[in-house]
């Protein structure tokens, strides 16, 4: 089972036609049922991995969650360095496309084919 298949299965369990919340509420009480449902939501998010920003194409920093900063070097900004604004991690200066791929790969994002 892939990560996406697992996320879909958990999402179906959480939001599907089966009344899981009602069952959990009857078995464990309302508070525990809510906590389990929140845990399922967090599991789906974790399995799906980071989502890139639509404007920059970069995922957030995996350490602090901040949006990365792009530093440009040279005429036209061909060489770029992607870094966390809080100093957690950065890439070396490399061509623009390579910098994005390196940053995203380091943070667990797999480019779509």
pLDDT tens track for 102-111: 888 888 887 6
pLDDT of the residue at 56: 85
pLDDT of the residue at 55: 87
Q: Please, what are the averages of pLDDT over each run of 10 residues along the chain (113 residues)? A: 75 67 74 78 78 87 87 82 90 87 85 56
Owner of token pair 């989502």: 51
- The CA-atom distances, in angstroms, between 1 and each of 49, 50, 63, 71, 109 are 16, 19, 27, 39, 18
């Amino acid at each position: 089972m892939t990560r996406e298949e697992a996320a879909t299965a958990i999402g179906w369990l959480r939001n599907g036609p089966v009344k899981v919340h009602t069952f959990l509420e009857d078995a464990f009480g309302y508070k525990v049922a809510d906590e389990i449902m929140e845990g399922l939501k967090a599991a789906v998010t974790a399995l799906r991995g980071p989502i890139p920003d639509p404007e920059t194409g970069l995922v957030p920093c995996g350490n602090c969650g901040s949006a990365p900063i792009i530093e440009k070097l040279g005429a036209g900004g061909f060489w770029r360095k992607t870094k966390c604004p809080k100093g957690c991690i950065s890439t070396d200066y490399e061509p623009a496309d390579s910098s994005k791929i390196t940053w995203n790969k380091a943070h667990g994002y797999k480019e779509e084919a």
